[in-house]
Amino acid sequence: IGFDDIALASFISQRLTTLAQPNHEMGAIAVKLLVERIKEKNKPSTKIILPVHLVVRESC
């Protein structure tokens, strides 16, 4: 099982089952948190858990 659901995973001879992450959402949240941290330097750390999605292919 792979991670990140890269394009190559669906092209190899036995298509690889992977976990897909919400990359766009992660980037948007990271930018938002960075801007908040720049504005408020003493802001406490934030922990965010985003769901992953299992993409089942031939390897599983």
**Predicted local confidence at residue 10, as pLDDT:** 77
Residue 19 C-beta-side C-alpha neighbours within 13 Å:
6
**Predicted local confidence at residue 32, as pLDDT:** 96
**Predicted local confidence at residue 37, as pLDDT:** 94
Spacing of C-alpha 14 from chain mean position: 23
d(CA 31, CA 27): 6
Furthest-apart CA pair in the chain: how many Å? 51
Structure tokens at 10: 């669906």
Task: Report residue 5's pLDDT band, with 50, 70 and 90 as the boundaries.
Answer: confident
pLDDT per residue over 8-59, tens digit each?
Answer: 777 777 888 889 999 999 999 999 999 999 999 999 999 999 999 999 988 7
**Predicted local confidence at residue 8, as pLDDT:** 78
d(CA 16, CA 36): 38
